[in-house]
Amino acid sequence: MHRGKGMKFVGDSRVQDKEQRNTIPKDYSEYPGRTEAFWPNYLLKEWLVGAVFLIGFLCYVAVTPVSLEQQADPNNAAYIPLPDWYFLFLYELLKYEFAAAEYIVIGTVGIPGLAFGALLLAPFLDTKPGRRPSQRPIATGMMLIGVLATIWLTYESVVAVDWETREEYSVDNMVEHEVDETHPGYEVYAQNCMSCHGGVLEGEPGLGPDLLDLPHTADTIAEISVEGIGDMPAGMFDGTDEELQQLANFIVENTDTDDGEGGDEDTEE
């Protein structure tokens, strides 16, 4: 702290009263009207407002449980990503042609960079002393455009989402799979397939897809087991023809097939 003779301070503050005099705001006593002591009068009112706000907030929290979706599955190709609502404006912006694909830099850096850069530097772009919105139409206009654009983009994004479908992603709708472990083919499955397709046909991230709703018949499955399909190499199955048949039957009977032979023996819950 500076100390010394002849130092002047502004009011009861420790701001020095020097040539920067004009940067110092007026003392509160110079404001017209009725001032009020912050402590304790005003603070008490603030606490009352805060308490009412907190009660309202807690009521909302109590009646609106937070959803948790099913555990992250990087192999889930069908999932449609959705950010939190306050990023939707950016998410929606990137859907426009001028801000997507080869112009993606315009959407991710250009437009948001200009908008938020202007926001950050607003005091240096709008330097005239007039404070009323009507005295600075350009600044006010730009801000209104920015706010309206953000609200519009968010609105467009929200109405485009199929919220009912998203409900199905919730953990409450998670399907617990079970397989018939007494099936003679289960042992064959455990030895040949489980390491990539999971203990209950649910798949393993990065290794193999789930086998929960295969459209194949038992014969096709037996063929795929031996010869492979897509990224699955041939020769994964190692065993006798009888075991192969048991394996194919096991998978068909435990998958949610539409036209396979075991369709009526659906063991999913």
Touching other proteins, residues 169-228 (CB under 8 A): 169, 171
Size of the site for other proteins (CB under 8 A): 81
The verdict on 4 binding other proteins (CB under 8 A) reads no
From 41-49, 186-194, 214-222, 252-260, span contacting other proteins (CB under 8 A): 41-49
Smallest distance from other proteins to CB 68, Å = 6
Q: Which is nearer to other proteins, 93 or 211 (CB)?
A: 93
Q: What residues contact residue 14 under an 8 Å CB cut-off, 6+ apart? A: 1
From 129-137, 210-218, 228-236, 256-264, span contacting other proteins (CB under 8 A): 129-137
From 13-21, 180-188, 190-198, 247-255, span contacting other proteins (CB under 8 A): 13-21
Q: What residues contact residue 49 under an 8 Å CB cut-off, 6+ apart? A: none
Q: Which of 4, 39, 97, 163 is close enough to bind other proteins by CB under 8 A?
A: 39
Buried b (16+ CB within 10 A) or exposed e, 55-69: eeeeeeeeeeeeeee
Q: By CB under 8 A, what part of segment 239-258 binds other proteins?
A: none
Rounded CA-CA distance 138/126 in Å is 9
Q: What residues contact residue 38 under an 8 Å CB cut-off, 6+ apart? A: none
Task: Return the CA Rg of the chain.
Answer: 33
